Amino acid sequence: MYVSKMTRFLLSALAAIFLSAVAISPFVQAQQAPNRTKVAARRAVEKAPAKPGQIDLKRSSIYVHVDKTGLGHEHGIEGKVKSGALQLGARSDAGSIVFDMTSFTADTDRARKYVGLEGSTSESTREKVNKNMRGADVLDIEKYPTATFAVVSALHKKTKQGKPVVELKGDFTLHGKTRPLTLYAEPAQEDGQWNLRGDFTIKQTDFGITPYSAALGTVGVADELKIYGDLWIAGDESKQD
């Protein structure tokens, strides 16, 4: 059968394209394999059951009440835990909590409600507060992106009224400074997890932070901060004292 030169040319071109695709396909697959492996590994970690004592990062939050001085304003701050684990009942090496300082956000409605403040704050005002709070003059999150509570002991105790609490003792590091810390949290169990809720106070100046002020000091925030923890911890096998 007669085949024109043009037809033969087209057939040759198609054959060349096909052979090139066959040759390139293994290379493309090899390039994509590491990405698929990374995605699969990440999904496996997300689906893996949490180890007893591991902090649930999605459910856990930190809240801070910032009081005012002069003509300043009170603020509610919220942030997230970056990593951590606690072995409730441990008398030593009870674990650690790493706070993600880059996640701390001022005056969300949830934060204000949690710390007992009314009303909402405009987006423009929140942006200004966040810029000041995260900047080099206050938290300096570029230099100090995390804070850490190294927990020495996490013992179950009871108050004078017989109410169960967990006493957490350890060292709190913020802004490059470390100070001893003891706090008491109320424990509760739900859906196979421990929920610890407690609060403590610190002074910014104890950690080398100068409280924000403006207008020759007539507008500012207080030195003392009240910090609330709402932690969810996997497992129900803690030791009871």
The continuous run of DSSP H or E covering 180 comes out as strand 177-190
- Token pair recorded at residue 78: 């919220």
- State the residue for tokens 């995605």: 39
* Residue 78 counted as domain residue: yes
Question: Are 32 and 134 in the same domain?
Answer: no
Question: Helices H, strands E: what count in the chain?
Answer: 3, 9
Task: Report the C-alpha gap between 183 and 180 in whole angstroms.
Answer: 10
Same-domain check for residues 105 and 180? yes
Predicted pLDDT at 104:
98
Using CA atoms of 170, 175, 176, 177 in order, give the dihedral in degrees to the nearest 10.
-50
pLDDT at residue 28 tops 50 = no
Tell me, yes or no, whether 41 and 104 share the same domain: no
Q: Which of 81-90, 130-139, 210-219 has the lowest mean pLDDT?
A: 210-219
pTM, to two decimals = 0.77
Q: Which domain holds residue 12?
A: 1-48
Place of tokens 């390139």: 24
21-50: average pLDDT: 55
Structural domains in the chain (count): 2
CATH code for the domain in which residue 189 is found: 2.40.128.110
Per-residue pLDDT of 67-78, as tens digits, reads 999 988 999 999
Question: Residues 60, 231: contact at Cβ < 8 Å?
Answer: yes
Q: Please report the pLDDT score of residue 191 as a whole number.
A: 87
Q: Examine the domain organization and report whether 108 and 134 are in the same domain.
A: yes
pLDDT given for residue 176 in this prediction? 97
What confidence category does residue 125 fall into, taking pLDDT thresholds of 50, 70 and 90? very high
> What percentage of the chain's residues is helix, strand, coil (to nearest 5)?
25, 45, 30
The token duo for 79 is 């942030």
pLDDT at 62 over 90: yes
- Domain assignment present for residue 54? The answer is no
**Mean pLDDT, the chain, integer:** 86
Query: Phi then psi for 123, rounded to 5 degrees?
Result: -60, -40
Does some domain include residue 53?
A: no
